[in-house]
Amino acid sequence: MLLTPLVVGLASAAWLWSKSWHWLLMAVTLAALIVAAFLGTTVAAGLITRGCGTEAIHDRARGRRSP
DSSP letters along 4-67, please? HHHHHHHHHHHHHHTT-HHHHHHHHHHHHHHHHHHHHHHHHHHHHHTT-SHHHHHHHHTTPPP-
Q: Which residue has the higher pLDDT, 33 or 15?
A: 33
Q: What is the mean pLDDT of the chain?
A: 73
What residues have CB less than 8 Å from 53, skipping those under 6 apart? 47
pTM of the model as a whole:
0.42
Report the alpha-carbon distance of residue 14 to residue 1 in Å, rounded.
21
Read off the pLDDT of residues 3-24 as tens digits, 9 standing for 90 and up: 677 777 777 777 766 666 777 7
Q: Which residue ranges make up each domain of the chain?
A: 3-61
State residue 2's pLDDT score: 60
